Chains A and B, each alone.
Chain A
Amino acid sequence: KNEVEQSPQNLTAQEGEFITINCSYSVGISALHWLQQHPGGGIVSLFMLSSGKKKHGRLIATINIQEKHSSLHITASHPRDSAVYICAASNTGNQFYFGTGTSLTVIP
């Protein structure tokens, strides 16, 4: 069993739709990270959070420590949001555990 599980693996949405990607983890963590990777591109850190909620533009990340669950929401989705979104958990030893990623395609 992976320490970090994401769902769904693949997601297709129409432009403008509200999108949710889920992440569950089984390890003790210091922080939960959401990363974005565009096709053929590098990896960018979107959020790092250890409690509550963070918002950046149309992206919102939430975490429930008790339930060991985090969600990434995208409001008013746009084709440029098409990418792979990766959830990762880090612990006090600075070690990172990665989910397998969610491939998002937003259709115009």
Chain B
Amino acid sequence: DAGVIQSPRHEVTEMGQEVTLRCKPISGHNSLFWYRQTMMRGLELLIYFNNNVPIDDSGMPEDRFSAKMPNASFSTLKIQPSEPRDSAVYFCASSPLGVAGYNEQFFGPGTRLTVL
């Protein structure tokens, strides 16, 4: 398996533009997680899905952020409109949903977003 795939790997955009980040989880994994990592705040969970259903989106900063998982093999994280403070590395991770809470996460390579 190719592991978790994220695209793009790097994104530079201007303030106010819409940004869409994409993630393909490992085949067979039922849980998908979106994280944001910054120097100031470290790794933060934004939202996670179990079986394509959003379970907890309390980490989503504000209404400018939205995430979807239309099927088991694809998820998007959208920021509209983007702001300079959204600059960060965004990681997607997936895990099997075996024994609840006892599942190793597999991380994608991340998308480095810069909003000018």
Contact = CB atoms under 8 A, between A and B. Distances in A.
A86 interface: yes
A7 interface: no
A101 B42 contact: yes
B69 to A, nearest CB: 14
A45 B95 CA distance: 11
A50 interface: yes
Q: How large is the interface on A (under 10, 10 to 19, 20 to 34, 35 or more residues)?
A: 20 to 34
A42 B109 contact: yes
Nearest to B42: A100
A94 B109 contact: no
A42 B110 CA distance: 7
Contacts of A95: 45, 48, 55-56, 101
A96 B55 contact: no
Given A33-B105, A45-B106, A94 B45 contact: no
A43 interface: yes
Given A86-B43, A94-B50, A95-B56, A31 B101 contact: yes
11 contacts: A30-B100, A42-B91, A44-B107, A45-B105, A45-B106, A90-B102, A94-B50, A95-B101, A96-B105, A98-B43, A100-B42
Interface of A: 29-31, 33, 35, 42-45, 48, 50, 86, 90-101
Interface of B: 31, 33, 42-45, 48, 50, 55-56, 91, 93, 95, 97, 99-110
